Amino acid sequence: MVFNSYTFVVFFAVLLLLHYAPLAWKVKKANLLLASYLFYAVWNPPFVLLLWLSTVVDYLVALALGREQNRHKRLGLLALSLAVNLGMLGYFKYGGFLLDNFVALLSLAGISYQPPKADIILPVGISFYTFQTLSYTLDVYRRQFAPEKSLLDFSLFVTFFPQLVAGPIVRPGELIPQLKAPHQASREQLVKGLFFVTLGLFMKVGIADGLLADTADSVFGVPFPLHPLDAWTGVLAFSGQIFCDFAGYSTCAIGAALCLGFVLPDNFRYPYAAVGFSDFWRRWHITLSSWLRDYLYIPLGGNRAGNARVYLNLMLTMLLGGLWHGASWTFVLWGGLHGLFLGLERLFRGRPTPQLQPLVTPAEPALLISQASLVPFGLRASHTTRQLGLALLTFVLVTLTWVFFRAPDFDTAMRLLLAMFGAIPVRIELLTTVTILKVMLVMAVLLSLHWLMRNTSVARVSQRLPWWALGLLWAFMLVVLVLTQKSTGSFIYFQF
């Protein structure tokens, strides 16, 4: 089931009625659990079995970890959880990818091998709920979180429908304690939650799908070189699309949970206003970047070793982060480019600052590159001007990396990059002037909003607006949703 469908509207309305009915809290939690299974089963009912398997294994392993004192037995229990969760993820998401690369390696060695075609269906959201259950087992193993004794509460933690298929990735300490006592939204929370759901859908349906998706699909889908302006327009369109699509989902998820009285962590904080790549990963997919930091980067050694080891840890983390997004070498290269830019930024900055940190407070200063590194770009003006210039540079570099994220293969990616910089003599014009102007206007507005709101939030701004202004904005978004809801296309991150 997708948020951008009338089916979800009916589903959510019925669920709200049940949640606010005079029922026992345990019954309400059972209703939420059944609704979450229904929400997931709409795609492919048999894949609910994977959720059950992951839930039961991690529930039992955590209880055993809580009782066990022997170090070797505890390691064995942890290995069991990792084997089950990563085994499912490896088979369903990377099985075909590994088989294709194995065949390619054999071919290089002169061995001809043609295995049966792997017909593996990727379960929706498996990367998200796998990381969520892994964080629980790892926290219990480290004795940072006590094993949850209630199977109902743990099952709801794993499957809570707002964030089940595309995040935010929730830690056990962020949701399980909320399940212990009855939760209902206050009037203010309910209004704010419904506003967030509307805003998220507007970002997805009105902007990502309505204004940008067609242009991005056209440019990334052509098999011939394009005019540089067309290439740039298509790539910029995808930059806006991927943000509005993914941040739109997270906003819907946070809003839907808030309508039920639950608080989920932020996942985006205006990433296209980031000043440097460290700042970008403090603002983009925050729950993933913090997960990679806590469960991969720091265990690898983090910043505690020498400089060479720090750069290696950083690159390994970003390469695996890229692979998490998809079973393709283009995603690995995308992660590697981010690792390279993070390493260069650290080198220019010249002082050890932890990477991949989530933004602690929205008001934190974000000038992450030393002033010496500004000299090649001639940025010697005021502090604000320097930050703005570096933010634009960061956005351009991030946009270039999106080429590998979106392109179906390396040939398409390289053809687009060469076209963007005018390195291909054949320049076919694909897009109309109106389309180019539309994309440029949308991106100019998006970047301006990110910059103006980089140190605040939608909730704060909405609280300061007069009631009539907020009402007009809300009504405008609802009208756009009704007029543009022509399909029930999935969110981009469902494929991950």
What pTM does this model have?
0.88
Q: What angle do CA 139, 32, 182 make, to 5 degrees?
A: 75
CA dist 160 → 44, 47, 266 (Å): 17, 16, 16
- Please indicate, yes or no, whether residues 67 and 135 belong to a single structural domain of this protein: yes
- Please indicate, yes or no, whether residues 263 and 384 belong to a single structural domain of this protein: yes
Pairwise CA distance, residues 205 & 203, whole Å: 6
Q: How many CB atoms lie within 10 A of CB 353?
A: 11
Domain count for the chain: 2
Closest C-alpha to 136, from 108, 161, 159: 159
Please provide residue 428's backbone torsions phi and psi, each rounded to the nearest 5 degrees. -90, 130
For residue 226, the cross-strand partners are 428
- Final residue of a structural domain among 179, 211, 239: 179
- Please indicate, yes or no, whether residues 102 and 153 belong to a single structural domain of this protein: yes
**Cβ–Cβ under 8 Å, residues 103 and 115:** yes
- Please indicate, yes or no, whether residues 204 and 146 belong to a single structural domain of this protein: no
Question: How much is the pLDDT for 463?
Answer: 84
- Please indicate, yes or no, whether residues 418 and 446 belong to a single structural domain of this protein: yes
The greatest distance separating any two alpha carbons of the chain, rounded to the nearest whole angstrom, comes to 72
Give the tens place of pLDDT for each residue, 205-251. 999 998 999 999 999 998 888 899 999 999 999 999 999 999 999 99
Question: How much is the pLDDT for 224?
Answer: 84
Does residue 23 sit within a domain?
no
- Please indicate, yes or no, whether residues 385 and 457 belong to a single structural domain of this protein: yes
Question: How much is the pLDDT for 351?
Answer: 52
Does residue 345 sit within a domain?
no
Token pair 């009105």: residue: 206
Which pLDDT band, with edges at 50, 70 and 90, does 126 fall under? confident
- What is the distance, to the nearest Å, from the Cα of residue 413 to the centroid of all Cα atoms in its chain? 22
- Please indicate, yes or no, whether residues 160 and 227 belong to a single structural domain of this protein: no
**Cβ–Cβ under 8 Å, residues 250 and 217:** no
- What is the distance, to the nearest Å, from the Cα of residue 181 to the centroid of all Cα atoms in its chain? 29
Does residue 332 sit within a domain?
no
Does residue 92 sit within a domain?
yes
Does residue 56 sit within a domain?
yes
What is the residue range of 58's domain? 28-179
Does residue 463 sit within a domain?
yes
Looking at the annotation, which residues are catalytic? 325
Q: What is the mean pLDDT of the chain?
A: 86
For residue 428, the cross-strand partners are 226
Please provide residue 226's backbone torsions phi and psi, each rounded to the nearest 5 degrees. -115, 165
Does residue 429 sit within a domain?
yes
Secondary structure in 3-state letters for the chain: CCCCCHHHHHHHHHHHHHHCCCCCHHHHHHHHHHHHHHHHHCCCHHHHHHHHHHHHHHHHHHHHHHHCCCHHHHHHHHHHHHHHHHHHHHHHHHHHHHHHHHHHHHHHCCCCCCCCCCCCCCCCCHHHHHHHHHHHHHHHHCCCCCCCCCHHHHHHHHHCHHHCCCCCCCCHHHHHHHHCCCCCCCHHHHHHHHHHHHHHHHHHHHHHHHHHHHHHHHHHHCCCCECHHHHHHHHHHHHHHHHHHHHHHHHHHHHHHHHCCCCCCCCCCCHHHCCCHHHHHHHCCHHHHHHHHHHHHHHHCCCCCCHHHHHHHHHHHHHHHHHHHCCCHHHHHHHHHHHHHHHHHHHHHCCCCCCCCCCCCCCCCCCCCCHHHHHHHCCCCCHHHHHHHHHHHHHHHHHHHHHHHHCCCHHHHHHHHHHHCCCCCCCECCCCHHHHHHHHHHHHHHHHHHHHCCCCCHHHHHHHCCHHHHHHHHHHHHHHHHHHCCCCCCCHHHHC
Q: 299-336 as b/e, with b when 16 or more CB fall inside 10 Å? A: ebebbeeeeeebbbbbbbbbbbbbbbbbbbbbbbbbbb
**Cβ–Cβ under 8 Å, residues 198 and 474:** yes
Which pLDDT band, with edges at 50, 70 and 90, does 363 fall under? very low
Does residue 46 sit within a domain?
yes
- Please indicate, yes or no, whether residues 188 and 252 belong to a single structural domain of this protein: yes
Which pLDDT band, with edges at 50, 70 and 90, does 494 fall under? low
Pairwise CA distance, residues 40 & 37, whole Å: 5
- Please indicate, yes or no, whether residues 189 and 253 belong to a single structural domain of this protein: yes
Q: Is the dihedral of CA 395, 397, 398, 400 positive or negative?
A: positive
Residue 372 has pLDDT above 70, yes or no: no
- Please indicate, yes or no, whether residues 270 and 407 belong to a single structural domain of this protein: yes
At position 32, the amino acid (one-letter code) is L
- Final residue of a structural domain among 179, 199, 218: 179
Give the tens place of pLDDT for each residue, 400-439. 999 999 999 999 999 999 999 988 877 678 889 999 999 9
Give the residue-averaged pLDDT of 341-369.
55
- Please indicate, yes or no, whether residues 36 and 157 belong to a single structural domain of this protein: yes
- Final residue of a structural domain among 156, 179, 202: 179
Pairwise CA distance, residues 344 & 350, whole Å: 10
Which pLDDT band, with edges at 50, 70 and 90, does 485 fall under? low
| 33: CB partners within 8 A, 6+ apart | 152, 155, 156, 159
- Please indicate, yes or no, whether residues 240 and 159 belong to a single structural domain of this protein: no
Question: How much is the pLDDT for 154?
Answer: 96
